[in-house]
Amino acid sequence: MRRLLFAVLAATIGLSAGAALADDHERDTLIQEITERGVLRVCHAEALPWGIKDPKTGEWVGSDVEAANHLGETMGVKVEHVDTAWGTLIPSLETGKCDIVMAPMFATPERAMKVLFANPAGFETMSVAVGADSGITSYADLDTDGKTVAVISGTADEAFSNRYFKKAKVQPSVTDKLSTVFLEVASKRADAVLTDTSTLNRMVKENAPMNLVVLAEEPLNPQGYSYAMRPGEYHFLSFVNIWQKFIAREGLKEKWHNQFAQD
């Protein structure tokens, strides 16, 4: 009787393990789904030089847009560039609106609880711009009672600002347009704007009438940014990581960055 019980338990455990492996295999089918669909759906959010909507054509352009096109070509499928705001990148991924987020999203522990991050696509810092006539010349000048820092709602910029600025008020804007938070400072509805250094420098340079300057301080919060995909898609994750090594080795990553980066 005891031997029979052990045999039943062993069989049950074996079936459970087999079922778990089968479930894992079934979950790892995103590549198959994409190839059968014939379309890779990629979520973007505005950030320079990675991706931005061309106001003349309404099409996405940028280094990550070129990367997405190459990824789709590698998979032998078309690419659908999906409009997404920074605050809805992860929800759009979770609900299947896109298969991958290809935007310079900082890989934070909080986000890693919800999505899988590929190996870093690059590294970035954050910086601050203020009105040229504001009298603010340092982070210490800005971090005082009565000062406001404009950020896009739902971004790593907002989370970092809430941690870093102890006295200044963080003023989030629900928008998918980069220009919105810069206009808040230009119109004096906010004292400063914080975002990634590359975007900040380019926006200030290309929008001289806003009369903004970048604070001459060391950039803040250096960290990696990565592409993201839904939990469980480890086959797709491995493929994207290998593809990233290939485009770096072939010089494509540098080529796309130089094509859209600030002079």
Which CATH number belongs to the domain containing residue 237 in this structure?
3.40.190.10
Domain span at 65: 30-123+223-260
Q: Find, among 153, 173, 149, the residue nearest to 161 by Cα.
A: 149
- The helix-helix angle for 30-37 and 63-75 (nearest 10°) equals 90
Residue 9 belongs to some domain of the structure: no
Report pLDDT for 156: 87
**CA proximity to 115, closest of 98, 131, 128, 129:** 98
Question: pLDDT tens-digit profile of 109-157?
Answer: 989 999 999 999 999 999 999 999 999 999 999 999 999 999 999 888 9
The predicted pLDDT at position 8 comes to 37
pLDDT tens string 11-38: 443 434 444 444 444 444 899 999 999 9
Q: What's the angle, vertex CA 159, arms to CA 115 and CA 189, rounded to 5? A: 135
pLDDT digits (tens, 9 = 90+) for 192-241: 999 999 889 989 999 999 999 999 999 999 989 999 999 999 999 999 99
Q: Look at the block and give the residue holding tokens 């797709």.
A: 236
In a domain, 203, yes or no: yes
Is 14 within the bounds of a domain?
no
- Calculate mean pLDDT across residues 60-75: 97
Q: Check whether residue 128 and residue 197 sit in a common domain.
A: yes
Is 2 contained in some domain? no
- Those residues whose C-beta lies under 8 Å from the C-beta of residue 71, and which sit 6 or more positions away, are 40, 42, 79, 100, 102, 240, 243
What per-residue confidence (pLDDT) applies to 5? Answer: 36
> Do 43 and 132 reside in the same domain of the chain?
no
| The two three-digit tokens of residue 108, written as one number | 């934070």
- Shared domain check, 231 and 209: no
Q: How many domains does the chain have?
A: 2
User: Based on the domain organization, do 71 and 142 belong to the same domain?
Assistant: no
214 with 228, same domain?
A: no
